[in-house]
Structure 1
């Protein structure tokens, strides 16, 4: 939560100090490339892919298991050094791949190239940071990996406020802040690893690298499968580079609002239940495995439905808090609000995917994750072209891209859920129909309350001077209405208690008929 709130503060600082324009678009593309890889490996994705592998090394004996982890660490260091060097040298090629529309403006592409060369080495530090976080998560330590992104946000805020005015090209301060943050984030993991007694020591051995390659290759499908939202954002950035100036920034800010509940609910739930699910799968306790997954999906439903409605209905006041209330920013507020409104329906799918992916990762079923991921990317790309370039009117094309991403996220979540149900791995507990009715009705009443409250806030609270006050009143009121209706409908804490009965040893895998 602290990380996401500081991330919001970071985006407000960037919007207020640099605005929306070619320079900001160039930085966001330069930042998007390494940040895509950061989000690919962090936010729990690395843990989802590697935690079952790290758990598997525990059964091989302390020395053998530690040697495999050290060999993987050494292989990652060598691989990342090569990728970082290649990416720095091939910066123009990366821009041509991720945002070719920038080449229509030579000055913008040159600025973006310079910033990519500064930010790309961030990849080296952040992947090693994520590997260390995976080790900590596998040992039951979650605080340090969760706190780590705070450093990135602090570095960027400090760079924008204090160091940008000292440079000829102020936007370059953000690029240097990203690189410094990578170093600090990796350094933060070392004391935590030392405290747990699991500091990896890189082991460089050609023979062992060859032995560890199948392990890394086996992890990649899971990693790609759970990182589809990041791939789809890159697809959107690619298409947005051909749209009007500012489209990349508008998409970025709408994505940032979606990230908040995804990280606080989806990533948190998925990361927390993954070790439990992995243990249950190893023990063969299929019934308890299904109960833990069911508990997670109930929380997904409880939080994602009102959050999606709230983000869509309050998109304009939310963006007013980012861009400020200056009349010159009114266009940015409207355009960014449109993309957020179209993106909001993705929230239940995005959060569900994070929880469902934990079930597949715990069972080492990377094929389903990869298949669902490729399907979602293909659907997003096809719909993006059809909606943004053929159907949407001018001014709504960037929003059409986020709508296609939302539909792809819902499709991926539905695919993963359907397979678990069809194979009998997940057996929903009784009461789902009533639970959906209660949450849906409460969310509907909340939506009606927000419509009324929004009109009243425009009349009673000066929206221009008090955008934050207006938003706080609406969010607090909507939250209060939602949970009050849930309580009146009969939902109690006992309905959402986690199943904590002991893991049954060798209970046999149970499937529902």
Structure 2
């Protein structure tokens, strides 16, 4: 153990939470914009038919496991333990922990990846059983999965490196890293197709290439901070054993929304050809505000919450959670309203080119509206779950997650017959609200989060601003047919005007009603 003063010499000054949040949001916004460009390219090349379904499933399986394990359970278990070590132990002890975790994680991922590549047909049958009735589609998906699955190994190690940097408040590099995935996919789709034989195969190779590039990008920054791990497997290390104990229940606690989205894909594989693609394009638009704001806020608060818990500062812990929830409502509500109201304009402007038809747009819009109803809940889950994991409490979230998963299955059965693929999206939204509500109730019951003053006034201000924004969108947004018939640059111009004008009306109304930039800063700093 070292004294507090000696530890402080190890640590460099950190930015305030709002400044860190702006950095993470900016980097994530760049990534999401490039992600939209990527999806425009994909939509143009493969549309939403059988080839698109095959690639989306082959990409979704390792991507799902990445979010479930690397950015989900592992991150939520590793960061609190690492933060505690950095607060209470010397830098050499922190290095020993990182080396042990790197070795154990690397060995586990190599074994899992090797097994998955061999068992690719079984994985496709599990994740998309509806493909079994189409042997050609099944075979293509298996081939693509064998190319994409090693991405899990590479991106999980990337997430491990990013978790170390985030714990030491080096948020910019991990936030920028996903940009490289989008660049890789765009370049592969445009330039590797002749070599790969098809656009879907080129995209699969792009996923693998992206994993290598993302990991290689972060390693020099770890080395510069003196934090580059040397893999040394040590399953008996106290920190490793604690992380493993926390990881098992955390698999459900933080990643239930991803499990629900996977269930959507599984059930959609039995529906009309193109259903998987329609859900994919809708989900991609929902991911924009979720990633830029929801995940960004969750990323910056977890290390701070973990340090506050280690320091037994319950009041700062509560104030930080309260600030995070307010920020989610301030940003999540207008984003959800905009996605719902502008569903067709967004999809037409971004994706309705080449192989993407007007029918695909209409079907995707149904799913987008359903997902947008749950956007606020998706974002709340991201910021409420760290309130448990920062305190190394994984049992409560797992109980809540199981309830939400069971509810999602029931909602799927209830909504899929009348609403088809859109019913799956609606079920995911409904179960997300149940999950978020139970997380909030649990935090309040445990006395670690209590609402600060001014919530009633704050909600009235947001409601009035939303009304102003919605009125502007209603007046200036033309009919769907006008969007379909408009040329590319006219679509882009109209959409840009609506987005900017809508955001301006929302922000100006908030200013008129008394909300100032200083009110957006958290009362506690990391």
Provide the TM-score with structure 2 as the length reference: 0.90
* Aligned residues of 2:43 and 2:353 also touching (Cα < 8 A): no
Q: Identify which range, 463-472 or 361-370, moves more after superposition.
A: 463-472
CA contact (8 A) 2:366 2:422 kept: yes
Mapping 1:27-38, distance limit 5 Å: 27-38=55-66
- Verify: 1:492 aligned to 2:516, yes or no: yes
Change in CA separation of 1:36 and 1:457 when aligned onto 2, cut-off 3 Å: closer
Q: Which residue of 2 aligns with 1:57?
A: 85
CA shift, 1:460, in A, is: 11
1:79 aligns to what? 108
Residues 247, 182 of structure 1: CA spacing in aligned structure 2 closer, same or farther, 3 A cutoff?
A: same
Match for 2:507 among 472, 477, 483?
483
- Tell me the CA shift for residue 210 of structure 1: 9.5
Equivalent-residue separation in structure 1 for 2:518 and 2:294 (angstroms):
21
Q: Residue 339 and residue 457 in structure 1: after superposition, are their counterparts in 2 closer, same or farther (change >3 A)?
A: closer
Instruction: Give the secondary structure class of the aligned counterpart of 2:357.
Output: helix
Q: CA-to-partner distance for each residue in 1:331-355, whole Å, 9 max, x for gaps?
A: 0110001100111011111111111
In structure 2, the CA distance between the partners of 1:90 and 1:457, relative to structure 1 (3 Å rule), is closer
Deviation at 1:189, TM superposition (A): 1.5
Q: Give yes or no for the alignment of 1:69 onto 2:93.
A: no
Q: Which residue of the other structure, out of 358, 361, 374, is the alignment partner of 1:333?
A: 361
Aligned to 1:346: 374
Q: Quick one: structure 1 residues 204 and 292, their matched pair in 2 at CA, closer, same or farther if it must change by over 3 Å?
A: closer
Task: Give the structure 2 partner of residue 434 of structure 1.
Answer: 457
Matched, 1:167 2:196: yes
The 1-side partners of 2:327 and 2:353 are apart by 35
Hey, what's the Cα distance between the residues in 2 that align with 1:458 and 1:27? 31
Matches within 5 A, 1:360-371: 360-371=388-399
Q: CA contact under 8 A between 1:41 and 1:130: conserved in structure 2?
A: no
Query: Is the 2:316–2:524 contact (alpha carbons within 8 Å) kept by the matching residues of 1?
Result: no
Counterpart of 2:14 in structure 1 is none
Mind listing any 5+ residue stretches in structure 1 that lack a counterpart?
Answer: 504-513
Q: Which runs of 5+ in 2 are unaligned?
A: 1-28
- Measured in 2, the distance between the counterparts of 1:3 and 1:14 equals 16
What's the TM-score once normalised by structure 1's chain length?
Answer: 0.92
Contact 2:254–2:397 (CA<8 Å) still a contact in 1? yes
Question: Does the aligned pair in 2 maintain the 1:349–1:409 contact within 8 Å?
Answer: yes
Is 1:293 the counterpart of 2:321 in the alignment?
yes
Shift of the alpha carbon at 1:187?
A: 0.9
Work out which of the residue numbers 413, 434, 438 in structure 2 matches 1:411: 434
Question: Taking structure 1 as reference, are residues 190 and 137 closer, same or farther at Cα in structure 2, changes over 3 Å only?
Answer: same
Distance in 1 (alpha carbons) for counterparts of 2:480 and 2:349 = 15
- RMSD (CA atoms): 2.1
CA separation of 1:367/1:338 partners in 2, compared to 1, >3 Å: closer, same or farther?
same
Contact 2:79 2:303 in 1 (8 A): yes
| Offset, 1:324 | 2.3
1:142 aligns with 2:171: yes
Cα pair 1:47 1:133 within 8 Å, conserved: no
Asked whether the 8 Å contact 2:371–2:428 carries over to 1, the reply is yes
- Give runs of aligned pairs for residues 212-291 of structure 1, distance below 5 A: 212-291=240-319
Out of 347, 365, 379, the residue aligned to residue 319 of structure 1 is 347
Q: Is the alpha carbon distance of 1:460 and 1:277 closer, same or farther for their aligned partners in structure 2, counting shifts above 3 Å?
A: closer
In the TM superposition, residue 56 of structure 1 has moved relative to its aligned partner by 2.6
Partner of residue 122, structure 1: 151
Report the 3-state secondary structure (helix = DSSP H, G, I; strand = E; otherwise coil) of the residue aligned with 1:208.
Answer: coil
Contact 2:246/2:392 (CA < 8 Å) preserved in 1? no
Residue in 2 that maps onto 1:383: 411
Is the contact made by 1:99 and 1:237 (CA closer than 8 Å) also made in structure 2? Answer: yes
Q: Deviations over 1:175-207 (max 9, x none)?
A: 1111111111111121011011011111135x6
Query: Of 443, 456, 462, which residue of structure 1 is paired with 2:466?
Result: 443
Please state if 1:181 is matched with 2:210: yes
Q: Show structure 1 runs of 4+ deviating over 6 A.
A: 456-462
Residue 472 (structure 1) aligned with residue 496 (structure 2) = yes
1:272-320 C-alpha deviation (Å, 9 max, x unpaired): 1222212221222211211111111111111111110000010001110
Distance 1:388 1:249 in 2: 16
